[in-house]
Amino acid sequence: MSPLKKIDWSLYLVADTEFAAGRDLVRLVREAVRGGVTVVQLRAKNLGMRDFLGLALRMSAALKKNSVPLIINDRTDIVLACAADGIHLGQDDMPPDRTRKLLGRSKIIGVTVNTLKEAREAERLGADYVGLGPIYATTTKDTDLPIVGAEGIRRMHKLIDIPIIAIGGINAGNVADVLRAGAAGIAVVSAILGARDARQAAAELLKRGVRSQHLIKKVKC
């Protein structure tokens, strides 16, 4: 793992411009951070370079005030242009080792994975974390990938050394199961951006997560 500052992966918000559906995404993210979001990934598949960069600069400025890391989905050029903290890559994107040569050792690199083979390869190529999913069925992103489930997290947690961020269908009702299985944190889209109150939704997810972590520690003791 690269020599990064310690990251709190507890509550990772994927701020998707398409899901925001015209709402002020920076304002929504600011509210979610007030509720406890610890990492933000900006995903903007529907924006051109200029609009993406403009949004990324606004997001970066808002998050720096709260010392919350900003991860950019896919785009190394946007990471460099807005001085983001890192990048998140898909299986069809540039490999982590090549991306590292462009971004340097100080940037966070995450990779989306669905299988143990993909996770091990991401770790071998220098990824700092993996985004594992879908954990449960989700309507946020079209995918025909198999459901991983809590048991899939548990198996992977024993076999790789980098943090696992669980994504896909996670909400306040199942977050405890996900964290008990070994995930370092949860990544959500609709559970926060689809809520009436982003701040309250984030706070509830964090509360459920913290409670489950306390139970884990009690069992270990």
* pLDDT at residue 152, as a whole number: 98
Q: How far apart are CA 156 and CA 36, in angstroms?
A: 27
Q: How far apart are CA 129 and CA 29, in angstroms?
A: 22
Report the predicted TM-score, pTM, of the whole model to 2 decimal places: 0.93
**Which domains are seen in the chain, by residue range?**
11-220 (3.20.20.70)
58-84 per-position pLDDT tens digit = 999 999 999 999 999 999 999 999 999
* pLDDT at residue 170, as a whole number: 96
Torsion of CA 61, 64, 66, 67, to 10 degrees: 160
* pLDDT at residue 138, as a whole number: 82
Q: Work out the end-to-end distance of the chain between its first and last CA atoms, rounded to an integer number of angstroms.
A: 28
Q: How far apart are CA 215 and CA 106, in angstroms?
A: 34
Tens of each residue's pLDDT in the chain, 221 residues: 444 558 999 999 999 999 988 899 999 999 999 999 999 999 999 999 999 999 999 999 999 999 999 999 999 999 999 999 999 999 999 999 999 999 999 999 999 999 999 999 999 999 999 999 999 998 767 678 999 999 999 999 999 999 999 999 999 999 999 999 999 999 999 999 999 999 999 999 999 886 555 444 443 43
The pair of structure tokens assigned to 129 is 């974390």
* pLDDT at residue 2, as a whole number: 46
